[in-house]
A and B are shown apart, each in its own frame.
Chain A
Amino acid sequence: MTPGAAPLGKDLLALEPLATEQIQLILDTAEPFKEISERAIKKVPTLRGATIVNLFFEASTRTRVSFEFAEKRLSADTVNVAASGSSVTKGETLVDTARNLEAMRIDMVVIRHGASGAAQFLAERIESNVINAGDGTHEHPTQGLLDLLTLRDHFKHLDGVKVCIVGDVLHSRVARSNIWGLKKMGAAVAVCGPRSLLPNAIDEFGVTVFDRLDEAVEWADALNILRLQLERMQLGYIPSLREYNRVFGVTRERLERSKRDILILHPGPMNRGVEIDSDVADGPFSVILDQVTNGVAVRMAVLYLLSGGKPELAEKAKAGAA
């Protein structure tokens, strides 16, 4: 990293191109921001005067609210735009949307879009910082980061931690960001799910593949359980939700077969009784709500670093508001 250069570059589009040190930096920067959300007055002036647009082409509650809190707790001015559909159906093209936003002199765009590559498309065409809040089935980098932070909180390190991603890896941007992020941080990564929902080329990604959930449970320190999109059944990827739950659903009975305690993560929203049973989701080893809490801190860190905040000032940013 050259001194003085933005530590992350202009945008955060994906974890795949990031260096280990960059991921480390975001996680470390998130630590002091965690505390801000625990205060009575949850606000610091770090991004005062900055304008941020949350541009959501897909419905989202958790991610949008999480970004919005992160922005507001850093004192940025934020606007939410809920657009629908792709450029084909909605009339205005993505590039026109981008140019219009740019003309309003905004500083950052947080974009969620149904098309893979949409965040990069936008980033290449506007000067504002762009943060990918999920693009199609490509990546969801801040989700990957908050998963890493949650795992690190628990295990105190990521090196050598065994994480198995369970479910629909084929269509999951969360899975891709997790695979890249975990591998870069030295974790051992496995996937488990029906072969019809795993990418055909999964073997070339340096991850272990388990066909049986019991094998995954035997191996893993943590399970990151993906949401099963209900339309996968209609599209013929799996025969039924009932069978999915029977074969790949994470139940307490299954987990109890392991001698170890297995940490449970889920990016939400959950389908209780499909990919995860309630007594697992609400059980003692579930860190699902910690993930949500960490999401705000990680997003504050990303906003701070992209806005030109110096890494070593992260502590001071916190202190300055005290």
Chain B
Amino acid sequence: MSTLILRGGRVVDPSQNLDAVTDLAIVGNRVDSIGRGFGDGRRETGDGTTVIDCSGLVVAPGFIDVHSHLREPGREDVETIATGAAAAAAGGFTAVCAMPNTDPVTDNQAAVGFVARQAQRAAMARVYPIGAISVGQKGEVLAEFGEMIAAGAVAVSDDGKPVASAHLMRTALEYARTFGIPVADHCEEPTLARGGVMNEGPTSMRLGLKGIPSEAEEIMAIRDMLLARRTGGHIHLCHMSTRGSVQLIRWGKDQEIRVTAEVCPHHLSLTEAEVDGYDTNAKMNPPLRTADDVEAMREAVRDGTIDVIATDHAPHHYDEKEREFADAPNGIVGFETALAVNITWLVKPKVIDLATLIERMSCAPARVFNLAGGTLRKGAAADVTVFDPQATWVVDAAKFRTKGRNTPYQGMTLTGRVHYTVVDGRVVHQLAR
């Protein structure tokens, strides 16, 4: 069996309270050991051991993104599972979850199996399919959770669309509980949000754009926490973006409701002011909110109210974004900027330390979605991310691995760069020199 030594890096593994400059040894596809002693001599023996010098770099359990859109099947012109998984690896993600709003919708075992198979073929970051809650994401009839799970689904979601019917959501929570998987919830009260294209407030009034009030998110967040309380199901609130949602989640966790929540890097770094000038790369759903909301989201990441940072990676074709603001699709690409955005806006200003960031990007997502990884304990899957927390770079979307170029961070100088991504003991990404 081959051996990979990540030597002399700062190994930060919140799952075992580890933060030390040391070596990490991987044998085959498992973490073997952590500790000094893998010197140059071992490499010289020529016994199939690869040694990577990680001095000055952070060695962390691989990042896991529980929320992404890989567009295959249906929009292979925009992204494929292979390009998405490569982009994820380039961003330091060793595993990502793919949302089911594909065309056709990933709402049955064959469709789930297709995603899993394409991911295996790509052999980059792991890709875990998420199955639809309802057939065709139409919000009417439950999809076959059991069969989708058997084919590899790790959660269910109608993401992209809210589950308008409270009854259907209740049933989904009960049924998902049977299988021990979370229901990932796109919180958006459809009648309040209808026609909205940005956050509702003074900026939307000034620009003459229809707003989406924060209550559209908060009403669904509280509705579904109450349904989780009723049913004992696990509700995972996707892409939370408002101060009100944070307050409601705090309440829910106090009540010991089985609620977990995620936030996207853009909701931790940018405000609705980005929409000024009608920049369609600042259009996403939920929309960019106010500075006060961003502050609340950062605080919630710090104190753990928000469990997970997830990208909501949503590639779109250039032409689709190059149009009138109201007509442009929602979403931005996120894999290849997530770490740097989080370091730039959270770690550098000392909102959280590096260990907390790794917890929110690796350990917590593994725990919440019950996935392999999220730890460097002996015997764990050898999914590792090696990054330089201090290196600065200028975002150039033309160099992305994703097919999407839709990023609001274009041209910005960010801090934090991924050097190596190891999946299943194999180096799948290495920073070009």
A interface with B by C-beta (< 8 Å): 16, 86-88, 93-95, 113, 115-118, 120-121, 135-139, 173, 176, 199-202, 204-205
Complex interface: chain A residues within 8 A of B190 (CB) = none
Question: Contact: A176 with B278, CB < 8 Å?
Answer: no
Shortest distance between the CB of A267 and any CB in chain B (Å): 16
**What residue of chain B has the Cβ atom nearest to residue A170's Cβ?**
B205
Using A87-B327, A204-B202 as known contacts, say yes or no to A116 and B322 having CB atoms under 8 A apart: no
List the 5 closest pairs (A to B, CB-CB), nearest first: A138-B208, A117-B278, A115-B324, A116-B208, A137-B208
Complex interface: chain A residues within 8 A of B205 (CB) = 176, 199-202, 205
Question: Contact: B323 with A117, CB < 8 Å?
Answer: no
- How far, in angstroms, from A18 to B200 measured CA to CA in the complex? 24
Shortest distance between the CB of A184 and any CB in chain B (Å): 14
Complex interface: chain A residues within 8 A of B324 (CB) = 86-87, 94, 113, 115, 117-118, 121
With beta carbons under 8 angstroms apart, the residue of B201, B277, B322 that contacts A93 is: B322
Question: Contact: A176 with B208, CB < 8 Å?
Answer: yes
Q: Mark B308-350, 1 if CB is under 8 A from A, else 0.
A: 0000000000010011111100000000000000000000000
B209 at the interface (CB under 8 A from A): yes
B121 at the interface (CB under 8 A from A): no
Interface centre among B202, B206, B322 (most CB of A within 10 A): B206
Interface of A is mostly: mixed
Using A86-B327, A136-B326, A138-B207 as known contacts, say yes or no to A121 and B201 having CB atoms under 8 A apart: no
Complex interface: chain A residues within 8 A of B204 (CB) = 201
Shortest distance between the CB of A159 and any CB in chain B (Å): 24
What are 22 pairs between A and B in contact, CB < 8 Å?
A: A16-B206, A86-B326, A87-B323, A94-B323, A95-B322, A115-B327, A116-B207, A116-B208, A117-B209, A117-B325, A117-B326, A121-B278, A121-B325, A136-B208, A136-B326, A137-B209, A138-B209, A139-B208, A173-B208, A200-B201, A200-B205, A200-B213
Shortest distance between the CB of B145 and any CB in chain A (Å): 35
**What residue of chain B has the Cβ atom nearest to residue A236's Cβ?**
B191
Shortest distance between the CB of A213 and any CB in chain B (Å): 22
Question: Contact: B322 with A117, CB < 8 Å?
Answer: no
- How far, in angstroms, from A88 to B322 measured CA to CA in the complex? 12
Shortest distance between the CB of A122 and any CB in chain B (Å): 10
With beta carbons under 8 angstroms apart, the residue of B200, B206, B208 that contacts A135 is: B208
The interface on chain B, measured as residues whose beta carbon lies within 8 A of the other chain's beta carbons, has a size of: 21
Complex interface: chain B residues within 8 A of A93 (CB) = 319, 322-323
Question: Contact: A116 with B326, CB < 8 Å?
Answer: yes
Complex interface: chain A residues within 8 A of B210 (CB) = 137
Taking CB atoms and an 8 Å cut-off, the chain B residues in 191-215 that contact chain A are: 200-202, 204-211, 213
**What residue of chain A has the Cβ atom nearest to residue B197's Cβ?**
A116
Interface centre among B208, B211, B277, B323 (most CB of A within 10 A): B208
Shortest distance between the CB of A25 and any CB in chain B (Å): 24
Question: Contact: A205 with B323, CB < 8 Å?
Answer: no
Shortest distance between the CB of A179 and any CB in chain B (Å): 10
Shortest distance between the CB of B344 and any CB in chain A (Å): 28
Using A116-B207, A173-B208 as known contacts, say yes or no to A201 and B325 having CB atoms under 8 A apart: no
**What residue of chain A has the Cβ atom nearest to residue B200's Cβ?**
A200
With beta carbons under 8 angstroms apart, the residue of B202, B213, B278 that contacts A116 is: B278
Complex interface: chain B residues within 8 A of A113 (CB) = 324
Complex interface: chain A residues within 8 A of B209 (CB) = 116-117, 136-138
With beta carbons under 8 angstroms apart, the residue of B213, B277, B322, B325 that contacts A115 is: B325
Complex interface: chain A residues within 8 A of B278 (CB) = 116-117, 120-121
Complex interface: chain B residues within 8 A of A117 (CB) = 207-209, 278, 324-326
**What residue of chain B has the Cβ atom nearest to residue A176's Cβ?**
B208
Question: Contact: A88 with B208, CB < 8 Å?
Answer: no
Interface centre among B205, B211, B319, B326 (most CB of A within 10 A): B205
**What residue of chain B has the Cβ atom nearest to residue A171's Cβ?**
B208
**What residue of chain A has the Cβ atom nearest to residue B201's Cβ?**
A201
Complex interface: chain B residues within 8 A of A139 (CB) = 208
Shortest distance between the CB of A241 and any CB in chain B (Å): 22
Shortest distance between the CB of B148 and any CB in chain A (Å): 33
Shortest distance between the CB of A86 and any CB in chain B (Å): 5
Q: Supply 13 further A-B pairs (C-beta < 8 A) apart from A86-B326, A116-B209, A201-B204.
A: A86-B324, A87-B323, A88-B323, A93-B323, A95-B322, A113-B324, A115-B325, A121-B278, A121-B323, A137-B209, A199-B205, A201-B205, A204-B202
**What residue of chain B has the Cβ atom nearest to residue A135's Cβ?**
B208
Complex interface: chain B residues within 8 A of A16 (CB) = 206
Complex interface: chain A residues within 8 A of B319 (CB) = 93
**What residue of chain B has the Cβ atom nearest to residue A204's Cβ?**
B202
Question: Contact: A201 with B202, CB < 8 Å?
Answer: yes
Shortest distance between the CB of B281 and any CB in chain A (Å): 13
- How far, in angstroms, from A88 to B329 measured CA to CA in the complex? 11
Complex interface: chain B residues within 8 A of A173 (CB) = 208
- How far, in angstroms, from A117 to B278 measured CA to CA in the complex? 6
- How far, in angstroms, from A204 to B327 measured CA to CA in the complex? 28
- How far, in angstroms, from A312 to B279 measured CA to CA in the complex? 37
- How far, in angstroms, from A173 to B213 measured CA to CA in the complex? 21
Shortest distance between the CB of A91 and any CB in chain B (Å): 12
Complex interface: chain A residues within 8 A of B206 (CB) = 16, 176
Taking CB atoms and an 8 Å cut-off, the chain B residues in 269-289 that contact chain A are: 277-278
Complex interface: chain B residues within 8 A of A138 (CB) = 207-209
**What residue of chain A has the Cβ atom nearest to residue B319's Cβ?**
A93
**What residue of chain B has the Cβ atom nearest to residue A201's Cβ?**
B202
- How far, in angstroms, from A139 to B201 measured CA to CA in the complex? 17
Complex interface: chain A residues within 8 A of B211 (CB) = 200
